[in-house]
Amino acid sequence: MSPDPDCLFCKIVAGAVPATVVLETRRTLAFRDISPQAPTHVLVIPRDHHRDVAELADASPETLAELVDTARAVAADEGIDAYRLVFNTGAQAGQSVFHVHGHVLGGRAMTWPPG
Q: How many domains does the chain have?
A: 1
Q: Is residue 1 part of a domain?
A: no
Q: Is residue 2 part of a domain?
A: no
Q: Is residue 113 part of a domain?
A: no
| pTM for the whole structure | 0.95
Active site residue 101: yes
Q: Is residue 69 part of a domain?
A: yes
Instruction: Verify cis geometry, omega within 30 degrees of 0, for the bond prior to 113.
Output: yes
User: For residue 32, what are the domain limits?
Assistant: 8-106
Q: Is residue 112 part of a domain?
A: no
- Give the pLDDT confidence of 55-113 residue by residue, as tens digits: 999 999 999 999 999 999 999 999 999 999 999 999 999 999 999 999 999 999 999 98
Q: Cα–Cα distance between 29 and 8 in angstroms, integer? A: 13
114 confidence band (pLDDT: 50, 70, 90): confident
Q: Is residue 65 part of a domain?
A: yes
Q: Is residue 74 part of a domain?
A: yes
Catalytic residue among 49, 50, 99, 101: 101
Q: Is residue 52 part of a domain?
A: yes
CATH for 68 = 3.30.428.10
Three-class SS state of 13? helix
